[in-house]
Amino acid sequence: MSQNVSPIPLPPVKPNQYRELFTNPAARTYLMVAAGGLLVALLTMFLIGSLIATVLLLMVGLCGLVLRWSAMPIFFVVLVCYFSYAPLGVPFVFGSISNIPTSNFRFLDVVLVGGSLVYLIGQYRLFSIVQSGMPFDANKLFVKTRAKPTVRPAEAPRDRELWMLFARVGIFVLGGQLLWYAITNWRVDFERVPPVVFMAPIEGFRRSDTLFVPDYLSRFLLAFGFFLAVAIVSRFVFWYWRLLQLQRDQAQMILIDTQWSEDRREMNRQEKWRGWQKGKILGTNRTKIGCGGWFLALGLPLILLVLFILVLNLSSG
Amino acid sequence: MLTSRGYWFLFCIAEVALVGVLLAARYAPTVPILAFTLVLWFIGEWIWFWIRTNAAHSRISIERHILQNDRELPTLWAGMDCTVRITIRLKRGFTLPFVSLADKLPVGQHIQAGHRRNITRLSASEPVVLEYTIHPKAPGVVRFEGIEFRMADLCGFFYRRSFFRLPTEYLVLPPLTDDDGTQRANKRFNTLPPPGVHRIRRAGSGTELLHLRDYLAGDPPKTIAWKASARKDKLITKELESDVPVRCVLFLDASNSTRLGTVGNTPLAKLAGIGAGVLQAAASDRDLVGLTVFDETGAKVQKPARTRRHTMQLLRIFAETAGRPAETTDGDAATLQRYAYSLAQDIYPDMLDKRLNSRPFGLFWIPLLDSRLKWLLILPLLWQLFTWKAEGFNTVVQTTLDITRPRSMNDLPAFLIVFLFLMLAPTVLTGIYWFLFGIRGFLPTRRQLLSERKQLGALFASRDGDTPASIERCISDDEFFVAKASRFLVEHHHQPPPKLFEPNGDYRFRCPEKIPILATSLLRTIGMARDNELYIILADLVELNDDIEPLLKSIRVARGKHHQVLVLLPWPEDLPPPRDPRAPVNELPKKNRTALGSVIQFTLIGEYHRKFEALRLKLVRAGAHVVRVNQGEPVRLILARLDRIRGAGIRR
């Protein structure tokens, strides 16, 4: 076997072994990455002044990293958002109202978001290494209780993989800030075409009360519109790409299926007649009436009869 | 597709983004910023995953090599390890960081060493090699379907499964036997003649002296024994022995009854293995071997020969015959559907994708007008006609007035409700009935079955090049579907458990049609025979006691022509050997007499033994020798018979 051929697969990693976090090179690497991200997020929350958030996030992070509780990343996101909203942990006791247009590219936000993203990426990649990287193909009913899930092999990640991780953290943190900048500086104005205005003073929008869009709704519409546009464009691109890559048997299947969809009612009628004739020849046609048939044959006339008698009685009375 | 982890994460961050934008942004802009960042990251990872997998999908090349003793071979040999080596290359494009590649193992084969699955990364610079060893035990055909690809992103949010279909079939030839191994333990019967030539004690043109006789006019001068003539003083002619090769013709039963069982463990595979052993042993002595493969429909004849090419051809026929699965076209549609759909999910996941193979909503609706009682729908129509006539309408109005007795406008709603009920009740009831009748098609079990049937129908139509009408026929016609599904399963070497017995208890795989075919083939072979030959019938005949007469006649003809007939009967593995007829009758142990299963098993075993004994008696009386496959070493027995025919053994 030549040098550039992948080695023989390593034995699968045994789950539920805490020692594995340090013996498995891949797990060890991502444990460190996630711990680093968690530390940055904790430090930022501490600087914001939320000590309780620091403690709770530490507990959540440790549960995720050491105990591998799979819900912890979601709890982490929820907790970070909650303590950003209420740093003291008490709801409805807010800090000062933010000046939203100037809330872009604040240092603590960038660090907090970056640290959180690193933690989440590291945590989920760690799950793929020590817990489960791919779902089972079979229905859940047929998966044995002690079946081993597919996990990433215990090889040290390459440098390029880690560099790409930090590169994408930078890109998406920047993207998030830019998106927030865009939707806080653009406004929806249905009196204009196109119905968006950049950096317009809010007073200028009160020309008509019926078409006035509040700030929060404007931000929502812009964000929703952005993600919808991304989804539509992606969908179209991948749809066209899939058509380009279509193989012969797949294309044949599409043609057959389309033709069947168009003609299925007529073909269904033919098949019913064919089945009826076949049953007649073989003498296997049903002679009994099903329960639905009985209802139609007896129930419905009975109801009509009762109604008829009722009507006649009442009218004569 | 999204995994459950991906769904939960997306749901969570979408909620956070919604709350952040609508409520929290005024007090904590960090919330929407974090949420947007996470959503952008998720979408970015999603798009990146699809780009990588889509790009890689059309750029993957797969090579499969089958090696035996480090040599690549077009066919395999049973009983020998063979290595399967698959090289998977990504020609160009993005690296797939987390893929699971697995070769689908041929049915009936087990891995002896190595791995058929590799979880790794796939890049253009690093091909992935899967290598494992299998050990084909029986002759037949092994089919490699292709490679299963499972791809996921590093976080486990996205997952895609595909199957690269590369169907390849390899013949597994019967096991090789050495020249002097089991079959040639002693060579005392053919030491004198050269290999392939054996003496027959009658006059011929051989080299060995048979006897001397007086010269007759017309004898060739070269046959005159001059020394004997000088001694006797009259002309003496020497007569030489006839030198002939021994012929052996094998009759292999390939009917459905011998093809039942798991792949490589069918009676046919065992019979073919024995036949191949006899063939090779006889070929090593340069005896002529012929083969007749027969089943319920006909027979294929290979005339006796002894060339190497002929031997290889017969081995191929043995392998191809042993690889034939049983044809069960009268199976249960639901069972076949279950098997076929799970197999299709494995091998044709792309063809079952709902974007290609749709399941429209209307497919599941049960139309009332297609039922037999659709004419009853005319009743509500008649009622409506009656109510819309003046008298009827007046009656309804009067009835409504009598019921509701309106005093003021406040009673108008009650009046209208009763009026509308009396006017439209039959139509409403019929509408409800129509709805309930049709909606039954969406109940889970029926919906799933219909959906699977439609998808399988489309798959079969696509593979067979049928018209779309065959999809609808698959849905409506069980018989048609069973034929299609059986063919599909057989082609992929999968066999659902067949129904062995008819409702009245009769065995379904008796195949009595094969007896006349076998008898005719035997007679034809006897007609073409030149000298004393050995006929070996490898057939499952135990269930055919009542239909065996034509075969008995043929055997008697063969014996009348001084040929030898040997019948080898397959014997079920889980059945004890037949007892000695003179031995006392076995009884079921007392402790098992209450267990119904034990009683039935005991009865069935006794019945099989009885049938076997009756058949054996008939065949022996006709002059054949009967042997069970698992009785001693059949190959040695057959070779001993051959030796009896040739040389010393046949002296009359």
The interface pTM score, or ipTM, of the predicted complex is: 0.84
Q: Nearest CA to CA, how far is B21 from chain A (Å)?
A: 6
What is the enclosing helix (H) or strand (E) of B481? helix B478-491
**B132 contacts: CB under 8 Å, gap ≥ 6:** B83, B84, B103, B111, B112, B113, B114, B115, B116
pLDDT at B419: 84
Q: Residue A19 and residue A174: Cα distance in Å, rounded?
A: 37
pLDDT at B651: 36
Structural class in CATH, domain B249-263+273-308+508-650: alpha beta
Burial class (CB in 10 A: 0-12, 13-18, 19+), B290: buried
Q: Nearest CA to CA, how far is B104 from chain A (Å)?
A: 15
Q: Using the beta-carbon criterion (under 8 Å), do A180 and B33 form an inter-chain contact?
A: yes
Q: Using the beta-carbon criterion (under 8 Å), do A100 and B20 form an inter-chain contact?
A: no
Q: Using the beta-carbon criterion (under 8 Å), do B476 and A272 form an inter-chain contact?
A: yes
Residues of B in contact with A316 (CB under 8 A): none
pLDDT at B485: 92
Q: Using the beta-carbon criterion (under 8 Å), do B25 and A133 form an inter-chain contact?
A: no
Of B318, B462, B434, B464, nearest in space to B365 by CA: B434
* Token pair 């009683």 in the structure block, residue: B599
**Hey, what are B256's tokens?**
């459905």
At A95, the pLDDT band (50, 70, 90 cuts) reads: low
Higher pLDDT, B207 or A317: B207
Residues of B in contact with A234 (CB under 8 A): 43, 47
Higher pLDDT, B185 or B646: B646
Q: Using the beta-carbon criterion (under 8 Å), do B98 and A252 form an inter-chain contact?
A: no
**B642 contacts: CB under 8 Å, gap ≥ 6:** B246, B248, B282, B287, B534
Q: In this model, does residue B159 exceed pLDDT 70?
A: yes
At A6, the pLDDT band (50, 70, 90 cuts) reads: very low
At B557, the pLDDT band (50, 70, 90 cuts) reads: very high
Q: Using the beta-carbon criterion (under 8 Å), do A70 and B471 form an inter-chain contact?
A: no
Q: Using the beta-carbon criterion (under 8 Å), do A259 and B380 form an inter-chain contact?
A: no
| B357 vs A73, A98, A253: nearest CB | A253
Q: How far is CA A92 from the centre of its chain?
A: 30
Of A165, A240, A236, nearest in space to B44 by CA: A165
Higher pLDDT, A154 or A3: A154
Q: Nearest CA to CA, how far is B4 from chain A (Å)?
A: 8
Residues of B in contact with A134 (CB under 8 A): 3, 98, 100, 150, 152, 156, 159
Q: Residue B296 and residue B205: Cα distance in Å, rounded?
A: 43
CB B552 within 8 A of CB B567: no
Q: Using the beta-carbon criterion (under 8 Å), do B399 and A116 form an inter-chain contact?
A: no
pLDDT at B455: 95
pLDDT at B385: 75
- Do the domains B60-173 and B249-263+273-308+508-650 sit in the same CATH topology, yes or no? no
At B593, the pLDDT band (50, 70, 90 cuts) reads: low
pLDDT at B423: 79
pLDDT in tens, A199-234: 665 555 455 566 677 888 888 999 999 999 999 999
Tell me which of A216-225, B126-135, B235-244, B510-519 is least confident: B235-244
B409 dihedral zone (left: phi>0; alpha: psi -120 to 50; beta): alpha
pLDDT at B200: 58
Max Cα-Cα span within chain B: 155
Of A7, A85, A3, nearest in space to A50 by CA: A85
Task: Find the mean pLDDT for residues B298-315.
Answer: 90
Residues of A in contact with B38 (CB under 8 A): 77, 117, 120, 176
Q: Nearest CA to CA, how far is B34 from chain A (Å)?
A: 6
Residues of A in contact with B461 (CB under 8 A): 256
Task: Give the residue extent of every domain in chain A.
Answer: 20-135+147-157
pLDDT in tens, B39-96: 999 999 999 999 999 888 888 999 999 998 788 888 888 888 899 999 999 988 888 9
CA-based end-to-end distance of chain B: 81
At B588, the pLDDT band (50, 70, 90 cuts) reads: low
**Hey, what are B350's tokens?**
């792309």
- What phi and psi values does residue B538 have, to the nearest 5 degrees? -105, 95
| Minimal-distance CA residue of chain A relative to B12 | A74
Percentage of the residues of chain B whose pLDDT score is greater than 90: 35
Higher pLDDT, B631 or B219: B219
Print the SS3 string covering B283-334. HHCCCEEEEEEECCCCEEEEEEECCHHHHHHHHHHHHHHHCCCCCCCCCCHH
Tell me which of A58-62, A106-110, B240-244 is least confident: B240-244
pLDDT in tens, A272-314: 888 888 888 887 765 554 556 666 667 777 777 777 777 666 6
Higher pLDDT, B529 or A76: A76
pLDDT in tens, B348-395: 999 999 889 999 888 898 887 777 667 767 777 777 777 777 777 888
DSSP alpha helices (H): ranges in B24-78? Answer: 30-57
Pairing type for strands B60-68 and B198-214 reads unpaired
| Minimal-distance CA residue of chain A relative to B123 | A6
pLDDT at B243: 63
Q: Nearest CA to CA, how far is B12 from chain A (Å)?
A: 7
Of B447, B305, B238, nearest in space to B363 by CA: B447
| Minimal-distance CA residue of chain A relative to B27 | A97
How much is the pTM?
0.79
| Superfamily name and number for B60-173 | Immunoglobulins (2.60.40.10)
| A245 vs B23, B58, B159: nearest CB | B58
Q: Using the beta-carbon criterion (under 8 Å), do B358 and A253 form an inter-chain contact?
A: no
Residues of A in contact with B117 (CB under 8 A): 9
pLDDT in tens, B39-55: 999 999 999 999 999 88
pLDDT at B183: 40
**A141 contacts: CB under 8 Å, gap ≥ 6:** none
Task: Find the mean pLDDT for residues B298-308.
Answer: 89
Q: Using the beta-carbon criterion (under 8 Å), do A249 and B32 form an inter-chain contact?
A: no
Q: Nearest CA to CA, how far is B255 from chain A (Å)?
A: 28
Mean pLDDT of chain B: 84
At B650, the pLDDT band (50, 70, 90 cuts) reads: very low
How long a stretch of residues is chain B? 652
Higher pLDDT, A141 or B537: B537
Q: Using the beta-carbon criterion (under 8 Å), do B115 and A8 form an inter-chain contact?
A: yes
Q: Nearest CA to CA, how far is A165 from chain B (Å)?
A: 11
CB pairs under 8 A between A and B: 293
pLDDT at B494: 86
- What phi and psi values does residue B626 have, to the nearest 5 degrees? -115, 130
At A137, the pLDDT band (50, 70, 90 cuts) reads: confident
Task: Find the mean pLDDT for residues B519-524.
Answer: 94
Residue B617 CB: number of other CB atoms within 10 A?
A: 13
Long-range Cβ pairs for the range B527-531 (8 Å, 24+): B528/B303, B529/B247, B529/B561, B529/B563, B530/B244, B530/B247, B531/B200, B531/B244, B531/B246, B531/B247
| A272 vs B36, B129, B370: nearest CB | B370
Q: In this model, does residue B278 exceed pLDDT 50?
A: yes
**Hey, what are A90's tokens?**
């008490």
Tell me which of B263-267, B474-478, B587-591 is least confident: B587-591
Q: Nearest CA to CA, how far is B421 from chain A (Å)?
A: 10
| A245 vs B13, B57, B425: nearest CB | B57
Task: Give the residue extent of every domain in chain B.
Answer: 4-54, 60-173, 199-244, 249-263+273-308+508-650, 333-491
Percentage of the residues of chain A whose pLDDT score is greater than 90: 35
| B462 vs A9, A249, A312: nearest CB | A249
pLDDT at A223: 92
Q: Using the beta-carbon criterion (under 8 Å), do A133 and B383 form an inter-chain contact?
A: no
Q: Nearest CA to CA, how far is B507 from chain A (Å)?
A: 23
